[in-house]
Structure 1
Amino acid sequence: MSPRHWALVGLAAVMTGGGVTVLCPADARADDYSDLLDILRAKGALTQGEYSTLLVRHLHRTAAPVRPARHAAAAHHDRPVPVATADDAGDAGGRMAPMVAAARQAADSAAASARSAQEAMLAAQSEIDSPSVVRIANYVPGKGLTFHAGPVDINFSGFINGFYSYNSPSGGRPVAGGLSTGGSGFDSSSVRNGLLPAGFIVKLTTTQSGIDLGAVLGMYPGIDNANPGAFNANSGGSPVGLGTPGIDLRQVYITAGTKSAGTVKIGRDLALFGSDAILDDATLLSVGSVGSNASPGNTSLGRIGVGYVYADWIPQISYASPVIHGVQGSVGIFQPLDEYNYAGDNLSASSIQHSSPMVQGKVTYDFKSGDLSGRIWAGFLVQHQQDLTGANIPTDARRGAMAEAGEIGAKLTYGRAQGVAYYYRGSGLGTTGLFFDGVAANGRKRDSEGYYVQGSYAFTKHFKLVGSYGVSNLYQAPGEDSSLLVRRNESEVGAGYYTLTDWLTLVAEYAHTQADAHGPDSARDNTVSAGAILFF
């Protein structure tokens, strides 16, 4: 017999009267009723206890002639052995009929319930897999929230910061094109943004016809009142009642490409030349040189103009190659920018005509060897400035100049220590901003160069100290003699960063800024800042 038949035999031991009645294996055969009980137990309609009770009762009622066990006969030899009669069989059959019917009905009901549950599960799974259902990916601190809406991924991220900055001039006279507030003669307090404003960035990505597509919209509001000028929201602010902050919609672009062919970008985004210099600058998370602290705009200067020229957010059509053994190349055409007289007083030329685009390119190499990792990069910039106008340029001269610049930098990380070194040189590039004072009033190009070095060490998982020094030099053009023009902007910065949570970092910083002219004028100031920046 099968194992289940023997199991039925074991369960068929019942108490009858004062003795034990044992059913023979031949009598304990499976039938339709016991099969139904098996089905009900398998489907969960019966508990193990209910199953055992019904099975034993059924076997007892349907038993054929029985014989007592040996030990029972020995103990109760005087008791008659019950014998099943035809009437008993009829009675048992009569009692079994409604039980079999009920069991069959219960089995059918259980089967229907199982089918219904399976259909509901399949329907729920289909709904989960439906493109109309929006799901959220696992959250990674600082990387924003990513939602999967069918074939489209939507990422929302951003940051917010605020600092109290106290600026104290150390004396001197204002320098044309200088970045120190030392000539103002007044201390100033402000509650302001640092080098970063706030940022709210939405990124959409998907793959269509084998092409990876993306769209980015980045909005960067400040916390101080805006007073739009030549630099729009980044101009000095207006600390007057009923003011409103400026909104800098600096990122609007699309991307299309593949991992093997590279990616094309069309729209407005951070340019290539100088981008690594500012992204690796520690003052990106703090304040640095304040610029106008009495009437702060959307951002401070950080190390802009005191170590590198601002990369800027420029309309572009650019291409980035695939990364091959850590090497990637990028090149693009960009909206040409005007030559700008930032120093004022007719010290520099200006232009508004552009028949050709600006061209920028960059090569990066990322590597890792044991505990040492880093990036080395080099870039260039070229733009033809046309129809220059200046105090010493004849109106009919139609003079032009080819602005050129190159850069090189490295960022190395070893354990808890990190270092950055950067250098740039340009002709017609200018200082602080692209093409600020790059051409003299006589139409001749000015050379410029600058660098910064930065070191940091993380003493714990949460606490890090950073120190940096940077210089930007602007030289006079041939035939020029301007003692008022800035010759050198420099600064030293020391800061401590404490990561309180995955989102929130507390910052305390000291910065010294100095501006020197080609003549005797010089200005110096000191700034202490403290605040917090939050990334989500």
Structure 2
Amino acid sequence: MSAGKLARIGAVVVMASGSASLACPEDARADDYSELLDILKAKGSLTQGEYKGLLAHHMQHVREAASASRTTQYMPAQRHMAVPTSAHAQMRTAMGQQVQPPGQIDIGGGGMDPDYVLAQAQQAAASAQASAASAESTWLAAQHSMGLGGGLSFVRMEKYQPGKGLTFKAGPVDINLSGFINGFYTYNSPAGGMPVAGGVSTGASGFDSSALRNGLLPAGLILKLSTTQNGIDLAAVMGMYPGIDNAKNGAFNANTGGSPVGLGTAGIDFRQVYVTAGNKKWGTFKIGRDLGIFGGDAILDDATLLSVGSTGSNSAPGNTSLGRIGVGYVYADWIPQISYQSPTIKGFQGTIGILQPLDEFDFSGDDPNGTAYSAGSTQHSSPMIQGKVTYDFKIGGLSARIWASFLTQHQQNLTVSKTTTVSTQLLEENGGIYNMTTSSTADVAVIPGQKHGVTAEAGEIGTKLTYGPAQFVGYYYRGSGLGTTGLFFDGVAANGRKRSSEGYYVQMMYNFTKKFKLVGSYGVSNLYLAPGESNPDLVRRNESEVGAAYYKMTDWLNLVAEYAHTSSAAHGPYKESDNSASGGMILLF
């Protein structure tokens, strides 16, 4: 037989077998099935154990097919041997040469019977086909058990990445659990002074205080469910944020100062409940309760997020400390909203949203005459609107983000609370006379007989720069009717006129090693008097300096030591300041 014909028959054998070489059947070679297993393992769709089991099962069939081919092809050496053959067992001439009768092979030099070689090729092809069918059956069974073929009974865990929580896959749904827990011992020492209405310093309290408390973050447990349906990326997020100290009901709910009295219970702050829908091409919509757009980057980039900062009430700590809230930025807050975030285009991304309108709030309290320092509001005919633009870029080893955002909201039905005090004398049966004082509070319109409203407005700009082990954050805001510390706290004077406010903070961080870093920051929040207003007791300036050291013991655990100095100054002569030292740890997973 010619060499060309033998080559063609050999090619048929190799292509038909698809899993083993006839020349060296004991050597397993890569095929489409094993390559598929490799791809699925690399993508995380198969565990190491599943991969090994499926591959071993497949290779067993490959070896069995190769062994059968080898046993038939390499028979004991003899001049003539009988083999199964087809029905056309006749003497014939092929390519001008006499060949053996059907079923006979001349090993000694008479050439190979092409019918015999073809039969061996067909047998090897049949064996390979049987192996492929068996492997396909095994793979389909594995698909079903993993939920890839319609079954949803198999749940497995994605490879863990520090800082990104624990992710489980249940069929087409990703389930992510993340969170943090922290605790600090904080010692606060007042440096003296007189109380400032709306100030955040504890300097005028007169007593040192010790507390075991949360820092700026409470604890947190965040559940996120995500999937893709009809080309739309969907996610549902629920975030629960409990504190470690006793809760106390008040205007700020779980964030009100705590109650250090026996038999108390900790507060639970369900800050996040929202859904998102969209994709990278068209952007993403969000509806629910989440961190506000205005001021969001300012607090997320604040290093005191992982420590304590300004303590606020340290003698009766609530869910959180202040960090830099009120001493560098206004708290973004967690607000019901419907927002849209655009896709990122050449580093630019925009966000716009309508949010639940919030009341103007008299945070500073009453003046000596019993009249509130600031007006409040109770009516809103339109939502709050917030928007933001960010730009991310890199230049060499420098990574940078620049952002700018705005806020606007119409405040209606402005009122001022006034406390009326009445003294009376009571005559008891035994003839004793005692004085009794009663008081009542009433809300009156800031302009008698009229409903009065204002439009609060604010803007901010900030940047975050990272170069090697160094990081810098700079931030500035300015508002009219915005107030200070919290959104719309003391934003409108008792005469119904808006107060202007502004603030900023700068922060430097340096990572000396992969585990150890130092942070220093300075921030200020200013509140200015409204036209026609004279309130010497009202806060003019809150400021603080913070220095902290962080040591990363593990991927989860960080040790923190911090010092903070906080001061408040009124529009008149009153000032107060305090110093605090904190040490503790925060675990993030």
Scaled to the shorter chain, the TM-score interval is 0.7 to 0.9
1:354 equivalent to 2:354? Answer no
Match of 1:369 among 387, 391, 395: 395
Residue 112 to residue 142, structure 1, CA distance change in 2 (3 Å):
same
CA displacement 1:381-427 (0-9 Å, x = unmatched) = 10111010025823412111110111111111111111111100101
1:506 equivalent to 2:559? Answer yes
Q: Hey, what's the Cα distance between the residues in 1 that align with 2:484 and 2:515?
A: 36
1:264 equivalent to 2:264? Answer no
1:225 equivalent to 2:246? Answer yes
What letter corresponds to residue 291 of structure 1 in structure 2? Answer: G
Tell me by how many angstroms 1:118 deviates.
Answer: 6.5
Q: Hey, what's the Cα distance between the residues in 1 that align with 2:543 and 2:230?
A: 52
Q: How does 1:336-347 map to 2 (within 5 A)?
A: 336-345=357-366, 346-347=372-373
Partner of 2:207: 186
Q: Hey, what's the Cα distance between the residues in 1 that align with 2:456 and 2:62?
A: 82
Partner of 1:205: 226
- What TM-score do the two structures reach when normalised by structure 2? 0.73
Residue 425 to residue 117, structure 1, CA distance change in 2 (3 Å):
closer
Match of 1:385 among 395, 400, 411: 411
Q: How does 1:57-456 map to 2 (within 5 A)?
A: 119-128=137-146, 129-131=148-150, 132=152, 133-345=154-366, 346-390=372-416, 393-456=446-509
Q: Hey, what's the Cα distance between the residues in 2 that align with 1:126 and 1:409?
A: 51
Which region of structure 1 is more displaced relative to structure 2, 176-185 or 118-127? 118-127
Residue 524 to residue 126, structure 1, CA distance change in 2 (3 Å):
same
Q: Hey, what's the Cα distance between the residues in 1 that align with 2:231 and 2:483?
A: 44
Residue 444 to residue 63, structure 1, CA distance change in 2 (3 Å):
closer
Q: How does 1:472-483 map to 2 (within 5 A)?
A: 472-483=525-536
What letter corresponds to residue 580 of structure 2 in structure 1? Answer: T
Aligned partner of residue 276 in structure 1, secondary structure: helix
Aligned partner of residue 221 in structure 1, secondary structure: strand
Tell me by how many angstroms 1:190 deviates.
Answer: 0.6
Q: What percentage of aligned pairs have identical amino acids? A: 71
Q: Hey, what's the Cα distance between the residues in 2 that align with 1:124 and 1:263?
A: 35
Q: Hey, what's the Cα distance between the residues in 2 that align with 1:250 and 1:348?
A: 27
Q: Hey, what's the Cα distance between the residues in 1 that align with 2:588 and 2:136?
A: 45
Q: Hey, what's the Cα distance between the residues in 1 that align with 2:226 and 2:401?
A: 27
Q: Hey, what's the Cα distance between the residues in 2 that align with 1:519 and 1:121?
A: 80
Q: Hey, what's the Cα distance between the residues in 2 that align with 1:210 and 1:118?
A: 29
Task: Confirm or deny: 8 A CA contact 1:283 1:303 kept in the other structure.
Answer: yes
Q: Hey, what's the Cα distance between the residues in 1 that align with 2:515 and 2:304?
A: 18
Residue 349 to residue 137, structure 1, CA distance change in 2 (3 Å):
same
Task: Confirm or deny: 8 A CA contact 2:65 2:131 kept in the other structure.
Answer: no
1:485 equivalent to 2:538? Answer yes
Tell me by how many angstroms 1:113 deviates.
Answer: 11
CA displacement 1:50-77 (0-9 Å, x = unmatched) = x99xx99x879x999xxxxxxxxxxxxx
Q: Hey, what's the Cα distance between the residues in 2 that align with 1:46 and 1:395?
A: 99
What letter corresponds to residue 145 of structure 2 in structure 1? Answer: E
Aligned partner of residue 257 in structure 1, secondary structure: strand
What letter corresponds to residue 183 of structure 1 in structure 2? Answer: A
1:535 equivalent to 2:588? Answer yes
Residue 179 to residue 125, structure 1, CA distance change in 2 (3 Å):
same
What letter corresponds to residue 374 of structure 1 in structure 2? Answer: A
Residue 47 to residue 150, structure 1, CA distance change in 2 (3 Å):
closer
What letter corresponds to residue 466 of structure 1 in structure 2? Answer: V
Q: Hey, what's the Cα distance between the residues in 2 that align with 1:45 and 1:413?
A: 60
Residue 364 to residue 171, structure 1, CA distance change in 2 (3 Å):
same
Residue 455 to residue 113, structure 1, CA distance change in 2 (3 Å):
closer
Match of 2:517 among 464, 467, 478: 464
CA displacement 1:85-118 (0-9 Å, x = unmatched) = xxxxxxxxxxxxxxxxxxxxxxxxxx99998777
Q: Gaps spanning 5+ residues in structure 1: where? A: 3-37, 65-110
Task: Confirm or deny: 8 A CA contact 1:130 1:150 kept in the other structure.
Answer: no
Task: Confirm or deny: 8 A CA contact 1:307 1:470 kept in the other structure.
Answer: yes
Tell me by how many angstroms 1:127 deviates.
Answer: 2.0
Q: Hey, what's the Cα distance between the residues in 2 that align with 1:494 and 1:160?
A: 22
Tell me by how many angstroms 1:241 deviates.
Answer: 1.2
Larger Rg belongs to: 1
Partner of 2:17: none
CA RMSD of aligned residues (A): 2.8
Task: Confirm or deny: 8 A CA contact 2:523 2:545 kept in the other structure.
Answer: yes
What letter corresponds to residue 491 of structure 1 in structure 2? Answer: S
Alignment: residue pair count:
455
Residue 120 to residue 190, structure 1, CA distance change in 2 (3 Å):
same
Aligned partner of residue 141 in structure 2, secondary structure: helix
Q: Hey, what's the Cα distance between the residues in 2 that align with 1:220 and 1:241?
A: 22
Tell me by how many angstroms 1:43 deviates.
Answer: 7.1
Task: Confirm or deny: 8 A CA contact 1:389 1:395 kept in the other structure.
Answer: no
Aligned partner of residue 453 in structure 2, secondary structure: strand
Task: Confirm or deny: 8 A CA contact 2:62 2:131 kept in the other structure.
Answer: no
Q: Hey, what's the Cα distance between the residues in 2 that align with 1:480 and 1:335?
A: 30
What letter corresponds to residue 284 of structure 1 in structure 2? Answer: L
Residue 47 to residue 453, structure 1, CA distance change in 2 (3 Å):
closer
- What TM-score do the two structures reach when normalised by structure 1? 0.80
What letter corresponds to residue 428 of structure 1 in structure 2? Answer: G
Partner of 1:72: none
Task: Confirm or deny: 8 A CA contact 2:350 2:390 kept in the other structure.
Answer: yes
Task: Confirm or deny: 8 A CA contact 2:465 2:473 kept in the other structure.
Answer: yes
Tell me by how many angstroms 1:210 deviates.
Answer: 1.5
Q: Hey, what's the Cα distance between the residues in 1 that align with 2:65 and 2:318?
A: 75
Task: Confirm or deny: 8 A CA contact 1:260 1:322 kept in the other structure.
Answer: yes
Task: Confirm or deny: 8 A CA contact 2:546 2:564 kept in the other structure.
Answer: yes
Aligned partner of residue 387 in structure 1, secondary structure: coil
Aligned partner of residue 253 in structure 2, secondary structure: coil
CA displacement 1:239-265 (0-9 Å, x = unmatched) = 111111111111011111121211111
Aligned partner of residue 375 in structure 2, secondary structure: coil
Residue 122 to residue 230, structure 1, CA distance change in 2 (3 Å):
same
Residue 210 to residue 112, structure 1, CA distance change in 2 (3 Å):
closer
Q: Give the 4+ runs in structure 1 shifted more than 4 A.
A: 41-48, 111-118
What letter corresponds to residue 183 of structure 2 in structure 1? Answer: G
Q: Hey, what's the Cα distance between the residues in 1 that align with 2:486 and 2:331?
A: 5
Residue 151 to residue 47, structure 1, CA distance change in 2 (3 Å):
closer
